[in-house]
Amino acid sequence: MESYTEKILITGALGQIGTELTNRLVEIHGADNVVASGLDRWQKGITSAGYYERMDVTNTQLVRQVIKDYDITTVYHLASLLSGTSEKQPIFAWKLNLEPLLHFCEMAKEGLIKKIFWPSSIAVFGKGIPKENVGQDVVLNPTTVYGISKMAGEKWCEYYFDKHGVDVRSIRYPGLISWKTPAGGGTTDYAVEIFYEAVEEGKYTSFISENTAMPMLYMDDAINATLKLMEAPKESLTVHSSYNLGGMSFTPKELAEEIKKEIPDFTIDYQPDFRQAIADSWPASIDDTIAKKDWGLTYDFGIAEMSKDMIKNLKVKLNKN
């Protein structure tokens, strides 16, 4: 197997996934081998990475220069416009969610970089698929701007692997839940907001109706899965579009019941908005057998463990002990 020092670039490094993934990559590879990028101006403590580049990922010339300047070998390309926001800005969503991925694949084809991680989403599923236990190879039929862009991205990943041997790896993330970084415009974000509101106010108004089940994943498990996939031998991977990741599945009502075990006076009401239609187009649960078989996917958190951990950490973060 080829041996080289990994030099890593993370786009969207200041976002919900990027912040925590950067920390873990620094732990594994050392700060000097990790370059974070985002749109914010640099300030002290902005990232744990050894280097920070203020960079618009749609500026291909700048991205290429950064990759050359730091001798980047691996790109974690996380920058994107999420589902709720994408519905309001479809043209910008298409540009941001697709074009940089293609340029990274081209750079890998040229031999400029060796490996790419790009996240897909459960948003690629849509009309006409089973609601429960959705398999890896179901026909994708997204009905949202975000889902359409992610489906196209998956096809590009597969194309560049099949035609040019590009090592691009992907996971269909379900809803991601974290206490460290606030949510950023996604349909599953009620499951983050609810914990903040429970700890701060003792009540929450959900924009998703009480019995809508969606697949969710605690951030610790999402980061572990991402790293496990990227460390797996190329030969063991059988999926070159994007791997299903099931996590856990629950409704807002079930999550509220779990929160009440820790905060007994917590109350919830429901005022579904435009994101309800997006949620209705997504599956309730996912079959991730192939990821478990190919690269050893495992989970540490279910709804009970996650709820306890979220509330414990948010009480400290928000000074509510």
In which residue are the tokens 């701060």 written?
200
**76 carries an active-site annotation:** no
Domains of the chain with bracketed CATH: 8-174+217-244 (3.40.50.720), 176-216+248-291+300-317 (3.90.25)
Q: What is the pLDDT of residues 189-211, one digit of tens each?
A: 899 999 999 999 999 999 999 99
CA atoms within 13 A on the CB side of 9: 28
Task: Report the sign of the C-alpha dihedral through residues 1, 68, 100, 85, in that order.
Answer: positive
* Residue 266, SS3 per DSSP: coil
What is 6-37 written as a DSSP string?
Answer: --EEEETTTSHHHHHHHHHHHHHH-GGGEEEE
What is the model's pTM?
Answer: 0.92
Q: Which of 52, 76, 146, 160 is catalytic?
A: 146
Specify the pLDDT at position 82: 86
Q: What is the pLDDT of residues 100-134, one digit of tens each?
A: 999 999 999 999 999 999 999 999 998 888 999 99
Instruction: Report which of 147, 82, 79, 145 is spatially closest to residue 117, judged by C-alpha positions.
Output: 79
- Please say whether the beta carbons of 223 and 285 come within 8 A: no
Query: In the predicted model, is pLDDT for residue 212 greater than 80?
Result: yes
- With a CB cutoff of 8 Å and minimum separation 6, the contacts of 213 are 249, 250, 251, 254, 284, 285
- Rounded to an integer, the average pLDDT of 44-69 is 96
